[in-house]
Structure 1
Amino acid sequence: MTGIALLGAGIFAREEHLPAIEASPTLTLKAVYSRSQQSAEALAAASKDPSSVAVYFDKPAVEGKTLDDLLQRDDIAAVDIALPILHQPGVVEKALKAGKHVLSEKPVAGDVESAQKLIAWYEGALGGGKPLWGVAENWRYMESIRYAAQRVREIGGELVTFRLVKNGSVRSDNKYFNTEWRKTPQYQGGFLLDGGVHFVAGLRFLLAAAGQDIKQVAGFTALLDEKLIPVDTIHAVALTRDGKPGTIGISFGTEFKSDTEVEIVTTNGVVSWNPTEVKTVARKGDRSDERVEEKKEFPYSSGVTEEVAAFAKAIEAGKIEAIQTPAEALNDLEILQRLLESGAGGATVKSIGV
């Protein structure tokens, strides 16, 4: 069994990761950490056996209870980190320096430059035998999106176009909104960075099944709900590396419309995905004038249990799965950042990976 600690900004930060860790046959929850004693104790209290979970915090100052004290424990081999976006990279680095395997929450950092510096340090500074570092993007582990990717590969053909649509709203009583670091974000994009990176990851996962990724974006941003500063909406066009066009629309400020969908269109058919349903329209055999339609429904699942299980397997195997690497998370972040930059510049064209 691998001893693991959960480092979070209170109980809400990882309310799904706590049972996911405890359900793992190869992980044992030994400790939790949060910046305040109150939130750390609340997180521990939500575990199956609070008496077996040690609590660590920075405020108030108590000898032997700091994050540094936790990271010195030899019986903890890994940490699962879910701290505010701008605080997380420093803790990731500290944990890796302490020799702990790390699963850190998305986004990989608050901006591309910070992410690149952290990844470059990880790849160059620790040398051989360094601990593993994965970035938690649970959308790539949803059963429904994996099935959709499978259908894209089975249908085949060349990509024609694609579409990402996400509409919804964030109420004033939303538990995630009611964290001070989200109410007054000191990072780009607000909820568009914190939540929007999920949707970009989902789009990229399905585009990869068609052998494509995004090369350029251009779009407009807006603030539709004044509390969701600095912006809450993006509408954009995008081009793949082969020059195939598609559209991206993400909004957290649309009160009377709520939907999530990614659509991949190829020369052989179309796959439409949402978290609980995958629709496929494709050619029937070799006859281009006949179509086969399929709809498959799924119970909602966030993919969190699966991503934690993948991290546990990676520790056993000594290698992080490709879709959980910091480099993959950096690609998600870069597309989101370029969309924000394009919107700030009045739909200027932004290139990815240059």
Structure 2
Amino acid sequence: MSPTELSVAILGAGIWAKEADLPAIAALQSAQVPIKVEAVYSRSTSSASALAEAAQQTLKLNSGLTVYSDAPDREGLDELLARSDIQAVIVVLPLGQQPEIVIKALKAGKHVLSEKPVAKDVKAALELIKTYETEYKPKGLIWRVAENFECEPGIRAAAEAIRSGKIGKVAFFRLSVVNYIDQESKWYQTSWRTVPDYQGGFLLDGGVHSMAVLRTILPSPVVSLSGHASLTKPYLLPHDSIQSVLALDSGAHGILELSFAAPSSARGESLTVITGTEGFLELTSGKNETGVQGWTIKTVVGTKDPKEEKQFYKGQGIDNEIEWFVQAVLKGEQNSVSVGEPRGAIRDVALIQAALTSGGALVDIKKLVEEA
């Protein structure tokens, strides 16, 4: 008999777990989504305990969560995963640790929602996906990659408008995301970001969001890429900027600009423009006039007498990715929204990897994914 409530453990006690996942779970519980946090794990007892305290306040718990860590005097991850009352885990660990933990959790019979990126490179991602599809998916275990941009209502609405033909056939596009990261940023001041052991640094860890935007809204997949990568700020090793030209399977093409090296916050930008034969669509992120964070879609349709429409969508991607994971586990994947598929997430990593390694040469994305 399937459970009516999903009991989960959170693995990882960093900023995202505290400031993103816990508030999202609290909002879902208020909306009667059947999810319950039972335990937390981190390498250190202090960080795990801090997350447990934050969870008790955010989720308004009557009693504290069970804390697991790698300290010699505490029960660790193996003991947590052995608990039969926990059906799933939310993995929010540094990128280098995640694949091993994903497999460990699946081996213990747990469903898994793991943070993006799916892995540090295409080869590692492909190995992880093949292991899941061969050994654990046939057992009914669900693994999804938590890519919240794919779950944003605004981005999904933009995708629906484009795929419905509202602006005609897509002819060309541009995505420009420019961020300012200084050494005082909370996102920078974590050891695994300060000295990354994976390609691209922030470009991979944060850049896959932008690749997920393209994957979600473009009606045809990217098949090739040519670009250049560079480093402007030495503390953002190994690269902080990429510019590339992309070609789609449909024959359309576009420009990608992604950087974390803006000279100041005044240069910040998040803009995607899709131009079609009958009009164009602009997608931007930011706050509306009341200070609510979200996404704005502007469509201009018509070749001789163009009409403009604009609509704002409140940001809700984190809530959605967790809720749809809960639905997938409790109701079956066929009854849930199809997001977080690992083979979709691998394409996001592939685009970043191609841009980092192209050096101006053409990279076949399909070949990169299939032959890694």
The TM-score, its normalising length taken from structure 2, stands at 0.88
Amino acid at match of 2:304: D
Q: 1-side partners of 2:239 and 2:80: how far apart?
A: 38
Say whether residues 1:269 and 2:269 are aligned partners.
Answer: no
Q: Measured at CA, do residues 279 and 7 of structure 1 come closer, stay the same or move farther in structure 2, by a change above 3 Å?
A: same
User: What amino acid sits opposite 2:327 in the alignment?
Assistant: K
Instruction: Say how many residue pairs are matched.
Output: 341
Q: Distance in 2 between matches of 1:153 and 1:119?
A: 28
Task: Describe the superposition over 1:183-222 as per-residue Cα deviations: whole angstroms up to 9, x where unpaired.
Answer: 0011000000000000111111110xxx211011111111
Q: Tell me, in whole angstroms, the C-alpha distance in 1 between the residues paired with 2:354 and 2:186.
A: 28
Q: What is the percent sequence identity of the aligned residues?
A: 39
Structure 2 residue 255 is matched with structure 1 residue 239: no
Distance 1:291 1:127, change over 3 A: closer
Corresponding residue for 1:4?
8
Per the alignment, residue 357 of structure 2 pairs with 341
User: Alpha-carbon deviation of 1:266?
Assistant: 1.1
- Alignment correspondent of 1:303: 317
Judge conservation of contact 2:271–2:284 (CA < 8 Å) in 1: yes
2:111 counterpart of 1:101: yes
The 1-side partners of 2:217 and 2:354 are apart by: 20
Shift of 1:79: 0.3
Distance 2:331 2:141 in 1: 12
Match of 1:135 in 2: 145
**Structure 2, unpaired ranges of 5+:** 286-294, 368-372
Aligned to 1:222: 230
Aligned match for 2:173, one of 149, 154, 162: 162
2-structure distance, mates of 1:4, 1:36: 20
Instruction: Please give the root-mean-square deviation of Cα atoms over the aligned residues, in Å.
Output: 1.5
Q: Distance in 1 between matches of 2:143 and 2:178?
A: 32
Shift of 1:176: 1.6
1:1-354 to structure 2, matched below 5 A, reads 1-22=5-26, 23-24=28-29, 25-47=33-55, 48=59, 49=61, 51-58=63-70, 60-63=71-74, 65-126=75-136, 128-154=138-164, 155-207=166-218, 211-256=219-264, 257-275=267-285, 276-283=295-302, 288-299=303-314, 301=315, 303-319=317-333, 321-342=337-358, 346-354=359-367
**Residue type at the aligned position of 1:134:** R
Q: 1:274, CA displacement in angstroms?
A: 1.0
Deviation of 1:353 after TM superposition, in Å, equals: 1.4
2:16–2:92 CA contact under 8 A, matched in 1: no
1:87 alignment partner AA: Q
Q: Which residue of 1 aligns with 2:291?
A: none
Secondary structure at the counterpart of residue 94 of structure 2:
coil
Alpha-carbon distance in structure 1 between the residues aligned to 2:131 and 2:82: 21
What TM-score results when the alignment is normalised by the length of structure 1? 0.92
Code of the residue aligned with 1:310 in structure 2: it is: W
Q: 1:237-263: per-residue Cα shift (whole Å, max 9, x none)? A: 110012221000000001231010111
Quick one: which amino acid aligns to residue 277 of structure 2? T
Once the two structures are TM-superposed, the CA of residue 156 in structure 1 deviates from its matched residue by 4.8
Decide whether the 8 Å contact of 1:217 with 1:349 is kept in 2.
yes
Which 5+ residue runs of structure 1 have no aligned equivalent? none
Q: Give the 3 Å change call, closer, same or farther, for CA 202–306 of structure 1 in structure 2.
A: same
Aligned to 2:217, what secondary structure does the other structure show? helix
| Contact map agreement 1:223 1:230 (CA 8 A) in 2 | yes
